Chains A and B, each alone.
Chain A
């Protein structure tokens, strides 16, 4: 008995890793599952869900080829609310489940939904490994700097001294810098957006999808119950222009209410400058290059407490992207290579092995 052609072709690998097809037009509404959404009123998750439903019809995917896989936590309820395939799995393990699915079904568009506790605490190990392997997956990392579902303990991204239920006298833990973590694990796409900027979030979701490789998109998400306003300094109108910088590939790093500030690189040291002062123009500024690994690391360190004098603005957008071979493609190529070299497996020959003998009647 030989490996049948049927098995080999039952799963088609498409060169771009996802299925692009002609199909009836889908609308945001066609992605609503009809399940009652059970996040707290005012939760940032609503916005993320809405932006996702908005962009899904534009991705050119068939509904049935989309899979959302989550772990445990508030964010991980996400798959229930989308009328695609979905799995609400166990705490921290979504990347591992997605890995097995993508390895065997490369044509699917797979989205991992996780949070700061799920993705960087209990599931930190899987997060590191999924990033280095570089399957073609999208990871949406909802960061609200708090444990919401367990009702308000500090998380691995909570600031030092956070007063929470489990740290009434202030937390002593040093927080993770999620993007530095992702870059450190050789993530091939590392980006940041926020729940309260729908346009930016939609754009970033689309770019994350279009990237061939593991996309790590951190989304600042407000937990209005246990950590309300954690990111307001970055998301609200009056402070946003001063404390954020929006990255665009090939454009200079400028920010400020009137775009009057910029960042220059002095060797490896970034410095904030005022445009027009000391003869500095946009021509002197750091030009963002998404493909520059070294500079992406420097950008990821724009991570200071915004209350600190002279702090760098918090960057949003794509920090880094590189085209790197996909793990699932390497798996399938190896299968093909071995089949070509050794020929299709013959089960009877395999069972018999190298040395046999016959006992006669």
Chain B
């Protein structure tokens, strides 16, 4: 039967269920399908820190939010249009985020007495009037799944595990999608498990067909392809993108990549991704601890390779002494921090940007290094590549900051071809250079960069270490004048890198005006979306987003002085703002949210309204 199909510009769907319900897999499959039809999109997986948190409880709810549209999309969306609730806890913890009039798809089997009790409902919300302002679809997904698998030899428990495919099939129907790519995915995934494959495929189709035959739902939706830059796209999440950037930089530089790491949420996926690609000559080393992880990377770099380590905040804290060593040795090193909410163990699966000052300052002594930040899932690729370029060309450790939000969030990526990637110049001393003059480990070029000479190169034998170096010779020196000179030189070397990074640009808005919103890291999408709206609404506002924080782009001060006010939104208690105030002596204003969740577009708009509303009113009066 044909049903009415309504066109929408953009839609937010949230899949929520128990952490064992397979909502992450459903979310990722729906994301790929959405990408393939050409929608722009942003996603946000939100899962508990426990692998199997207590079943049926609110802490055990695992969610996946996707925002997709025919217009440009930069965030996973503020509020949902569609909420899939596999049980009572999933409904309870997500209902406040559902738009009035939004669609609820509830699995009635997840609302039995036990589930209601665990979620803290006194009566079943599906059966009273509490949900009347929403469009509620009650489906007994468990029963329908079992029915569709009558002939499958799997046990009931295993059959029930394919419930998530029923949901996916139904959502595909609801948004008028093709299920072929998910069928192909399942065939790949369960190539050797015939019965499980059969169960998943049957349930997926049963969910789709249910939409067609049920009388209770008369409405379907469609979202046309977005107008996006022409080119070839794929869907990508931040951590795999970052890993690909490292591999690309390894191949382009000709340096063997060595990734020393210790498992930590949310950085482990980089280790997993790199470990898959050994045919790219990547060595991955799961070290005994965070300190060994960075030290092994230092050893690899000392040997003339691309030493990389990756971690999250607590691990970063452990690496700081070794970072100081790398600063003294002046060797290339890439250190990735996928930030999470802290301090200490904090909220391991929640996002935060609170390790910026740690990256810039968090070591003993005067210990400058380069700090960069990725802003979107796909920019993790670009910034990883840049981190390698700067580390290798300037003989310095580089800290690259990402966070849990972009590490796990997905977006379409117009990916580059390898020949379009910039050159990475590697200058390692060769034996024939030795005869010309004696090697002086701390002699520098005009950018204050010393020569990289590695073991195995005759005539370049030398000793380096963590003790203060004598300028030029690198011999141990306790001379006071020398120490001051070396401290200043190390700082100047980092500052000089500003000449080799891109100038700061304005992302949206005028080059001069009332308000500049200055962001860094994963707030990019929210700020971009908010500023787009505000510009449409006639506000005099602009957005600049920093990817290079130490050193800052050369023209940043000039840009900041072109605006009457500067607003700095951060998912921390005010960190970039301190660096900006300190460096440029401007009265920047902070907007700080520290809840383990991203800043939403609307929250930011409210902040701007409160800052500019009076001016806006005056402007309106003027127009009349």
Known: A90-B295, A100-B303, A126-B288. 7 other contacts (CB 8 A): A62-B458, A89-B298, A96-B296, A100-B307, A108-B455, A352-B234, A357-B38
- Residue A345, interface by CB 8 Å: yes
Main secondary structure on B side of the interface with A:
mixed
CB distance from A297 to the nearest CB of B (A): 23
| A103 with B247: CB separation less than 8 A | no
Known A-B contacts A96-B296, A358-B232; A89 and B475 likewise in contact (beta carbons under 8 Å): no
In the complex, whether A11 has a CB less than 8 A from a CB of chain B is yes
Task: State in angstroms the CA–CA spacing of A278 and B18 once bound together.
Answer: 78
Q: With A331-B283, A347-B247 in contact, is A80–B418 under 8 Å at CB?
A: no
Provide the residues of chain A in CB contact with B287, threshold 8 Å.
Answer: 96, 99, 129
Asked if B307 contacts A93 (CB within 8 A), the reply is no
Interface string of B273-314 (1 = CB under 8 A from A): 000011111010101110111011111111111010000000
Contact status B256-A101, CB under 8 Å? no
Q: Per a CB cutoff under 8 Å, which of B225, B415, B418, B455 touches A85?
A: B455
Q: Could you tell me which residues of chain A, from 109 to 140, have a CB within 8 Å of some CB in chain B? A: 125-126, 128-129
Binds A, one of B127-135, B170-178, B354-362, B464-472: B464-472
B244, A80: Cβ atoms under 8 Å? Answer: no
Closest to A94 in B: B295
Q: List 28 A-B contacts (CB under 8 A).
A: A7-B254, A7-B255, A7-B256, A7-B281, A66-B455, A86-B464, A88-B466, A89-B465, A90-B295, A93-B295, A96-B292, A97-B298, A100-B285, A102-B299, A128-B288, A129-B292, A331-B283, A341-B279, A347-B418, A348-B417, A351-B248, A353-B234, A355-B32, A356-B234, A357-B35, A357-B36, A358-B231, A358-B233
B258 lies within 8 A of chain A by Cβ: yes
A195 CB-CB contact with B under 8 Å = no
Q: If the complex has contacts A104-B305, A358-B232, A360-B230, are A90 and B466 also in contact, measured as CB distance less than 8 A?
A: yes
Contact A84–B295 (Cβ < 8 Å): no
Contacts of A104 in B (CB 8 A): 256, 258, 283, 299-300, 303, 305
B36 — which chain A residues lie within 8 A by C-beta?
Answer: 355, 357
Asked if A79 CB lies within 8 Å of chain B CBs, one says: yes
- Cα(A352)–Cα(B417), bound, Å: 9
Given contacts A89-B325, A93-B322, contact A347 B248 (CB under 8 A): yes
B6 interface contact, C-beta 8 A: no
A359 adjacent to B233 (CB under 8 Å): yes
Within 8 A of B (CB), among A69-88: 69, 72, 79-80, 82-88
Partner of A350, one of B38, B231, B244: B244
Q: In residues 4-55 of chain B, which contact A (Cβ within 8 Å)?
A: 32, 35-36, 38
* A contacts, CB < 8 Å to B: 1, 3-4, 6-8, 10-11, 33, 35, 62-67, 69, 72, 79-80, 82-91, 93, 95-105, 107-108, 125-126, 128-129, 331, 334-335, 338-339, 341-345, 347-348, 350-353, 355-361
**In whole Å, how far is A24's beta carbon from the nearest beta carbon of chain B?**
11
Q: Does B460 contact A (CB under 8 A)?
A: yes
A334 x B302 contact (CB < 8 A):
no
The answer to the question of B489 belonging to the interface, with a C-beta cut-off of 8 Å to chain A, is no
Residues of chain A within 8 A of B321, CB atoms compared:
90-91
Q: Report yes or no: A3 in contact with B280, Cβ–Cβ below 8 A.
A: yes
Q: How far apart are the CA atoms of A4 and B418 in the complex, in Å?
A: 13
Answer yes or no: B557 CB below 8 A from chain A CBs: no
The 9 closest A-B pairs by CB, nearest first: A88-B465, A100-B299, A100-B296, A96-B295, A345-B280, A101-B299, A96-B292, A86-B463, A1-B418
Looking at the assembled complex, report how far the CB atom of B406 sits from the nearest CB atom of chain A, in whole angstroms: 18
Question: In the complex, what residues of A have CB within 8 A of residue B277's CB?
Answer: 345, 350
Closest chain A residue to B236, Cβ basis: A353
Bound CA–CA A33/B458 (angstroms): 15
Within 8 A of A (CB), among B413-451: 414-419
Tell me whether A101 and B416 are in contact (CB under 8 A): no
Question: Complex formed: what's the CA distance from A351 to B382 in Å?
Answer: 12
**Complex: chain B residue closest to A107, CB-CB:** B456
Q: Name the distance in Å between A91's Cβ and chain B's nearest Cβ.
A: 8
Which residues of A sit under 8 angstroms from B324, Cβ to Cβ? 90
Residues of B in contact with A (beta carbons under 8 Å apart): 32, 35-36, 38, 181, 225, 228-236, 244, 247-248, 251-252, 254-256, 258, 260, 277-281, 283, 285, 287-289, 291-293, 295-305, 307, 321-322, 324-325, 329, 381, 414-419, 455-467, 475-476
User: Max chain A CB contacts within 10 Å: which of B36, B181, B233?
Assistant: B233
- CB–CB A99/B292 < 8 A: yes
Tell me how far the C-beta of A167 lies from the nearest C-beta in chain B, rounded to whole angstroms.
26
Chain A neighbourhood of B418, CB < 8 A: 1, 347-348, 351
Given the known interface contacts A101-B302, A101-B455, the answer about A64 and B251 at a Cβ–Cβ threshold of 8 Å is no
Are the C-beta atoms of B35 and A83 separated by less than 8 Å?
Answer: no
Quick one: closest B residue to A339, CB to CB? B279
CA distance A88 to B307 in the complex (A): 18
* Contact in complex: A88, B232 (CB < 8 Å): no
Which residue of the partner chain A has the closest CB to B463? A86
Q: How far is the CA of A107 from the CA of B460 in the complex (A)?
A: 17
For B295, the chain A residues whose CB sits under 8 A away are: 89-90, 93, 96-97, 99-100, 126
Bound form: Cα–Cα A62–B459 in Å? 11
Residue of B235, B296, B456, B465 touching A103 (CB-CB under 8 A) = B296
Assembly CA distance A350 to B280 (angstroms): 10
